[in-house]
């Protein structure tokens, strides 16, 4: 089945630094990837939709200059949290949709726990 | 915004019992999906039910959908300790294929 690899699984960074999270589709090409943020014991909040070869579409209230998304190839999307602050600490999850699968082909990464100290 | 609303928010049962979780949504849908999330992990797709279906089974899972009430239920029969996880419903169907997740039900199955 379709596999999405997300890396790193855990990262601790200092305030003011940037951290990059990678999301790779291992055995399929993903024209669209999605980035979510999840607070403890809460649901997933969609941050942005990442489209290969074009700019990401951000949800209302998500700072595009703070959460940089790049989808340079059909198998890789990256989320860079710039100038991280402690309030950016959260669980970030990506998902990928294989082309031609409509709403049926979503595969999720295993998530990245970001802690900003 | 989150469309799905699951209840209960938390459910604790004994191994062998059945667990029922409910989800309500507000707008029209093409399908509704249920996902499972183990603590600190990503989501695993469990089952999808289309808007023209009323019931679907997969192993120990049974999902119902009532579009007139805009609600769905997930039943896990003969629960096991390994079923302990959070369960989310998700709706989608827009042209951009975005999924909207509910708040989730934390299921604890005690051995």
Query: Helix/strand/coil (H, E, C) string of B36-67?
Result: EECCCCCEEEEEEEECCCCEEEECCEEEEEEC
- A49: chain B residues, CB-CB within 8 Å: 96, 98
Q: Is B95 exposed, middle or buried (0-12, 13-18, 19+ CB in 10 A)?
A: exposed
- The verdict on a CB contact (< 8 Å) between A43 and B2 is yes
Q: Is the Cβ of A106 closer than 8 Å to some Cβ of chain B?
A: yes
Chain B window 17-76: which residues touch A at a Cβ cutoff of 8 Å?
30-31, 33, 35, 40-45, 48
The span from the CA of B23 to the CA of B87, in Å, is: 10
Is the backbone peptide bond immediately before A42 cis, with ω within 30 degrees of 0? no
What is the full per-residue pLDDT of chain B (111 aa) written as tens digits? 335 667 788 999 999 999 999 999 988 888 899 999 999 899 999 999 999 999 999 999 999 999 999 999 999 999 999 999 999 999 875 566 788 888 899 999 999
**Interval B44-55: pLDDT, tens:** 999 999 999 999
The span from the CA of A40 to the CA of A91, in Å, is: 8
- Identify the DSSP state of B70: T
- The verdict on a CB contact (< 8 Å) between A113 and B88 is no
**Interval A75-92: pLDDT, tens:** 999 999 999 999 999 999
- B101: chain A residues, CB-CB within 8 Å: 43-44
- The verdict on a CB contact (< 8 Å) between A41 and B97 is no
């Amino acid at each position: 089945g379709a596999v999405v690899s997300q890396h790193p699984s855990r990262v601790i960074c200092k305030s003011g630094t940037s951290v990059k999270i990678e999301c790779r589709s291992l055995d399929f090409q993903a024209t669209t990837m999605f980035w979510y943020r999840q607070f403890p014991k809460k649901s997933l909040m969609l941050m942005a939709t990442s489209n290969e070869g074009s700019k990401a579409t951000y949800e209302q209230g998500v700072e595009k200059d703070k959460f940089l998304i790049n989808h340079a190839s059909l198998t890789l999307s990256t989320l860079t949290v710039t100038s991280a602050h402690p309030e950016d600490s959260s669980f970030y999850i990506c998902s990928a949709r294989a082309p031609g699968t409509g709403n049926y082909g979503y595969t999720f990464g295993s998530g990245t726990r970001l802690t900003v100290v | 915004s989150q469309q799905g609303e699951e209840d209960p928010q938390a459910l604790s049962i004994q191994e062998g019992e059945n667990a029922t979780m409910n989800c309500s949504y507000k707008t029209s849908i093409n399908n509704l999906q249920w996902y499972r999330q183990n603590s600190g992990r990503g989501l695993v797709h469990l089952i999808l039910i289309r808007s023209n279906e009323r019931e679907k089974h997969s192993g120990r899972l049974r999902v119902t959908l009532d579009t007139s009430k805009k609600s769905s239920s997930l039943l896990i029969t003969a629960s096991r300790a390994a079923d302990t996880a959070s369960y989310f419903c998700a709706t989608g169907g827009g042209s951009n294929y975005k999924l909207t997740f509910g708040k989730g039900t934390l299921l604890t199955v005690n051995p």
